Structure 1
Amino acid sequence: MKIICSTLNAKYIHTNLAIRYLRAYAEPEFTVELAEYTIKDPAMNIVSDLIAKKPDVLGFSCYIWNIEETIKVVSMIKKINPDIAIVFGGPEVTYDTVEWLERHPEVDYIVVGEGEIAFKEFLVQFASTSPDLSKVPGLAFRKNGKVKLNLQAGKLDLKEIPSPYRFPEDAPYLGKRVTYIETSRGCPFSCQFCLSSIEVGVRYFDREKIKEDIRYLMANGAKTIKFVDRTFNISRSYAMEMFRFLIDEHVPGTVFQFEITADIMRPEVIEFLNQEAPKGLFRFEIGVQSTNDYTNELVMRKQNFEKLKRTVTMVKDGGKIDQHLDLIAGLPEENYFSFRKTFNDVFEMRPEELQLGFLKMLRGTGVRLRANEHDYIYMDHAPYEILGNNVLPFEDIIRIKQVEDVLEKYWNSHRMDATIEYLIQYVFESPFDFFQEFGAYWDSKGWARIGHQLEDLFKRLHEFLKERNIGNLEIVEGLMKVDYLSRQKYSPRKPWWDSRYSKKELGSKYQLLLQNPLIAGPAFKALELSEKELYKHTLLEKIPFDIGIFQTTGEIRPIESVLVVYYDPTGKGPIISSFAS
């Protein structure tokens, strides 16, 4: 019997943990082949590859990001070979299961909930000469034209699950893809927009086995290891033990990513990480979602924002760990102006990344079950994103999407941090207002529908600020030059701005610098550049403030200056200074 477990990942760099658990648990009684694709792959290519493998049983791991494409694939497969048994599993089909089978005759079976025991028992029955599908826990199937749904089994003892990380064919790809690792299942919280709230309690895998798996993954080249635990730090003693282990035994260049609940993290844990963790070893994802107390109450989300802010601030001050904070627009009773406050509350902490998402009415969640209470309208198909509710009309959702677009391009990408910091502090009323005004302008120009190079991003921001007629535009232009040039490895051939020194002016500035390199600072003098090296590797531009003072204190001291940017010929990055013109 040929068995294939497959899925369509969102990106090539992702790996699917679920199908690896199924394979590991089914062995050695059954041999399961894995076949992963992406949602960007043409359906015909996926179908051709799977048909060529000649499966008898073909299982798919289903999520909101791949369900529509997966259905297209299995519809084609069933037309080509109706004898292939199609099995679905995963969070997207665990709820409204009967409806899925009634709507999609191309799907033969659905495994609900945890799949390890159920899938293996399904294979046992499928291979039997007298199969009895009623013995398969959590299986939905058709019998006499009607859909039957068996009761699920009790919770699996996670300490008994074999490792899904040791398949030899995965080893060559560990350094090229994100490796997902699970040390617990379940969540202690009851947030009504999240599927994790449905499973009560938290269960842990065997700690020593997990450590051995991590050692194996690092030894075989894994670079990015992401823990999928819903609340990694719910047990302080467990989190501390794992942090200590990872600090002590990590391989240089490896990054570990966690989802943490920030308001329950104790200061002594953060102090330990700030003192002991190497810079860049850890990365935190923190779901804030909303700072509106009433909204959080409605979705049964317990959150102490002051304690959350304390954690984020302490971690940021430590300078060791990048933080990715999440917001959800469209939660109950959070209108446009309330969301503006939420955004500004969170942006005030200056996270390295701020992810702005929109509420998705996931099957099985409380917000979907009680959607009528807040007049929600939402997409009929995955990802079930909201289109409006009683306090947030579609027009306001579009406005917030404009914010999301430029936030990703201009803050999360860190292409011009100094410029954005100045604009939100001195030019616009708040961070949200800057991103909203610029996002609306961006949208009005049709830029969301076309591609852009780095230079385009600077030109488009400059055009917006110029048309808005902001004060101190020359200061902002200077900051934009610094941001742009500091992110180049080599001297750019044609910078995005037009205002440059004439050939005569440039020659006199170079001669001045050649005669007295100390005017650009001790670091520049220490380079001991020859005249040839100076002209070849150094860029001079106009700037209306002293860059040395700005780099040291953050103060903008208006003074006509010459920006000096030396680009190391080995591509190590620039040394930036200035001198009074």
Structure 2
Amino acid sequence: MNIILSTLNAKYIHTSLSIRYLKAYAEPDFDVKLAEYTIKDPIMNIVGDLYSKKPDVVGFSCYIWNIEETIEVIQTLKKINPAITIILGGPEVTYDVSHWLDRIPEADFIVIGEGESTFKELLAELNGERKQFGKIGGIAYRENDKKIIHPQISKLDLKELPSPYRFPEDQQHLSKRVTYIETSRGCPFNCQFCLSSIEVGVRYFDREKIKNDIRYLMENGAKTIKFVDRTFNISRSYAMEMFQFLIDEHLPGTVFQFEITADIMRPEVIQFLNDNAPAGLFRFEIGVQSTNDPTNELVKRKQNFEKLTRTVTMVKEGQKIDQHLDLIAGLPEEDYSTFRKTFNDVFELRPEELQLGFLKMLRGTGLRLRASDHQYIYSDYSPYEILGNNVLSFDDIVRIKQVEDVLEKYWNDHRMNQTVEFLVTRVFDSAFDFFQEFGTYWDQQGWSRIGHQLEDLFRRLHQFLQDKKIAELDIAVGFMKYDYFNTQKYKPRKPWWEQSFEKAERTAIYETILQNGAILGEGYQSLQLNEKDLYKHTMLEEIPFDLNEYLKNGSIVRERGIMLSYFDPSGIGSSIFSYSEEKTLQANK
């Protein structure tokens, strides 16, 4: 048989771990080829490529992000060659199996749940003469117009699974894509909105095998390795062992990403990482979801936000590990007001990235099974996003989506850190109120429907602040200028604002600097810029506060300041220096 395993990834940089496990388990009895695409690829291109491989069997790994596109591929492929056997697997088709047999009649088999052993058994029967599908656990199919569904019988011993990471054809792509690695399956928690809550208990792979696989991946160029364990740190001893191993044996430029449960992480573990981990080696994803206790109780989510805050704060103070915190809008009894509080509680921690997502009513989860308890309405098609419930209207959801839009552009991309910090602490009532008011304004202007360059982002925020007539607009603009220069690798040709100085005044300031570079500090003096470099590679701007005082103490002292930005001609970025005219005059006297 000519066997193809395929999936449609969300992006090109992603790789499918599931089809590699299936391939590794099926070998050497079956020669399985892999064919990966993305959901952005034209359907006919995917079908054409699969058809050209002349397959007898094609298996598809199905998720909420690819199921609709996958169905189109299957339907078209079957029209062209009805003789191809189509096998589906993955979390999206594991639940409501009867529904999928009806929805996708072109699918010959559905593999339910953990698929390695089931898929291999199915291939053996397809390759044999008697084809006794009834003896296989964990599959669904049709027989004489009747739906046959066999539940999975037992779980695999993960320590015996062959490695899915060592296929020669993958080596050339390791440096360009995210590599996903799995050291355990299952989750100890029972969150009712999550598929992981359905599988009871946690099972581990062989530690030494995993370490050898990581060594292999790094030696062959893997740069971003993401652990897909649902709670990497559920076993403190295991997590510490792996952290130590990765610190000891990592190669330069490698980044490891983990999903951790922050409120169970002990301070001594964080201190160990702060003391020993190289900066940038690790990245944490932390699911907060909600800080509303009644909501967490309803979804059976145990969370101590005080301990979570301690963990996030300790990690942030260590300045070694970036943190990505997740929120979910639309959980039971979380109305607009309490979600505003949740957002502000979490933003107060100033995570490097704050992901605002919306509840997906995933097939098989307890929340979907009891959707009527909270009057949920949601899309019939993946990703089954909610449209409202008994306490959160569709209008509320639209408003929160406006928050999500500008949050991504103005916080998660870190284009305006100082500006946003000033606005959320000194101008608006809270961080949520800033993002909400700006997000609503953004939507009303029609900007969500058009593209933008970096300069556009600054212009649009400036327009919003002007129209709102905020207090201390000049201070906000000063921070925007500072942030703009900070984001530039090369000297910008034309800033988004009208420059502060005419030629004569600019020349006079340069003369002052040339005569007394000490006013800009030791950092500037170490550059040893001559007159030509000063004019060619720097820019001057006026700001209405003492920038040095702010950066040092966080206090805003109103007085005319001069900001000089030096742009290294090699493109490594900018260096910003400033001085207060008032302090300089007093010092000269």
The question of a shared fold, defined as TM-score above 0.5 by the shorter chain, is answered with yes
The superposition leaves residues 292-328 of structure 1 with CA deviations (integer Å, 9 ceiling, x where unpaired) of: 1000000000111101111111111111100000000
* Native 8 Å contact 2:118 2:136 kept in 1: yes
* Native 8 Å contact 2:291 2:342 kept in 1: yes
Provide the C-alpha distance between the structure 2 equivalents of 1:538 and 1:517, rounded to a whole number of angstroms: 14
* Native 8 Å contact 1:102 1:147 kept in 2: no
Matches within 5 A, 1:162-241: 162-241=162-241
* Native 8 Å contact 2:415 2:483 kept in 1: yes
Matches within 5 A, 1:136-535: 136-535=136-535
The superposition leaves residues 397-421 of structure 1 with CA deviations (integer Å, 9 ceiling, x where unpaired) of: 0000000000000000000000000
Secondary structure of 1:343 counterpart: helix
TM-score w.r.t. length of structure 2: 0.98
* Native 8 Å contact 1:279 1:321 kept in 2: yes
With 512-521 and 137-146 compared, the bigger mean Cα shift is at 512-521
The superposition leaves residues 72-114 of structure 1 with CA deviations (integer Å, 9 ceiling, x where unpaired) of: 0111000000000010000000000011111221111100000
- Residue 537 in 1 paired to residue 537 in 2? yes
* Native 8 Å contact 2:118 2:139 kept in 1: yes
Deviation at 1:575, TM superposition (A): 1.7
With 146-155 and 422-431 compared, the bigger mean Cα shift is at 146-155
Provide the C-alpha distance between the structure 2 equivalents of 1:66 and 1:10, rounded to a whole number of angstroms: 7
2:104: which partner in 1?
104
Provide the C-alpha distance between the structure 2 equivalents of 1:440 and 1:560, rounded to a whole number of angstroms: 34
Q: How many residues align?
A: 581
Secondary structure of 2:93 counterpart: coil
Secondary structure of 1:434 counterpart: helix
Question: Deviation above 3 Å: which 4+ runs of structure 1?
Answer: none
Deviation at 1:548, TM superposition (A): 1.7
Provide the C-alpha distance between the structure 2 equivalents of 1:313 and 1:528, rounded to a whole number of angstroms: 39
2:60: which partner in 1?
60
* Native 8 Å contact 2:112 2:151 kept in 1: no
Superposition CA RMSD, Å? 0.7
The superposition leaves residues 168-188 of structure 1 with CA deviations (integer Å, 9 ceiling, x where unpaired) of: 000111010000000000000
* Native 8 Å contact 2:139 2:149 kept in 1: yes
Provide the C-alpha distance between the structure 2 equivalents of 1:53 and 1:422, rounded to a whole number of angstroms: 58
* Native 8 Å contact 2:2 2:57 kept in 1: yes
Deviation at 1:579, TM superposition (A): 2.2
Provide the C-alpha distance between the structure 2 equivalents of 1:139 and 1:387, rounded to a whole number of angstroms: 33
1:124: which partner in 2?
124
With 550-559 and 267-276 compared, the bigger mean Cα shift is at 550-559
Identical aligned residues as a percent: 70
The superposition leaves residues 138-161 of structure 1 with CA deviations (integer Å, 9 ceiling, x where unpaired) of: 110100101101121201000000
TM-score w.r.t. length of structure 1: 0.99
Deviation at 1:500, TM superposition (A): 2.3
* Native 8 Å contact 1:5 1:59 kept in 2: yes
The superposition leaves residues 239-269 of structure 1 with CA deviations (integer Å, 9 ceiling, x where unpaired) of: 0000000000000110000000000001110
Secondary structure of 2:134 counterpart: helix
Deviation at 1:499, TM superposition (A): 4.2
Secondary structure of 1:498 counterpart: coil
Deviation at 1:515, TM superposition (A): 1.6
The superposition leaves residues 358-382 of structure 1 with CA deviations (integer Å, 9 ceiling, x where unpaired) of: 0000000000000000000000000
Letter in 2 for 1:493: R
Provide the C-alpha distance between the structure 1 equivalents of 2:524 and 2:203, rounded to a whole number of angstroms: 58
With 388-397 and 535-544 compared, the bigger mean Cα shift is at 535-544
Secondary structure of 2:201 counterpart: coil
* Native 8 Å contact 1:329 1:358 kept in 2: yes
Secondary structure of 1:544 counterpart: strand
Provide the C-alpha distance between the structure 2 equivalents of 1:116 and 1:561, rounded to a whole number of angstroms: 66
Provide the C-alpha distance between the structure 2 equivalents of 1:266 and 1:522, rounded to a whole number of angstroms: 41
Provide the C-alpha distance between the structure 1 equivalents of 2:553 and 2:488, rounded to a whole number of angstroms: 23
Provide the C-alpha distance between the structure 2 equivalents of 1:520 and 1:99, rounded to a whole number of angstroms: 70
With 501-510 and 332-341 compared, the bigger mean Cα shift is at 501-510
Provide the C-alpha distance between the structure 2 equivalents of 1:103 and 1:501, rounded to a whole number of angstroms: 67
Secondary structure of 1:452 counterpart: coil
- Residue 578 in 1 paired to residue 578 in 2? yes
Deviation at 1:580, TM superposition (A): 3.0
Provide the C-alpha distance between the structure 1 equivalents of 2:393 and 2:134, rounded to a whole number of angstroms: 47
2:586: which partner in 1?
none
Provide the C-alpha distance between the structure 1 equivalents of 2:103 and 2:50, rounded to a whole number of angstroms: 23
1:90: which partner in 2?
90
2:585: which partner in 1?
none
Provide the C-alpha distance between the structure 2 equivalents of 1:526 and 1:255, rounded to a whole number of angstroms: 33
Secondary structure of 2:460 counterpart: helix
Provide the C-alpha distance between the structure 2 equivalents of 1:138 and 1:319, rounded to a whole number of angstroms: 47
Secondary structure of 1:202 counterpart: strand
Identify unmatched segments of 5+ residues in structure 2: 582-589
Secondary structure of 1:489 counterpart: coil
1:548: which partner in 2?
548
- Residue 72 in 1 paired to residue 79 in 2? no
Deviation at 1:13, TM superposition (A): 0.2
Secondary structure of 2:18 counterpart: helix
Identify unmatched segments of 5+ residues in structure 1: none
Letter in 1 for 2:362: L
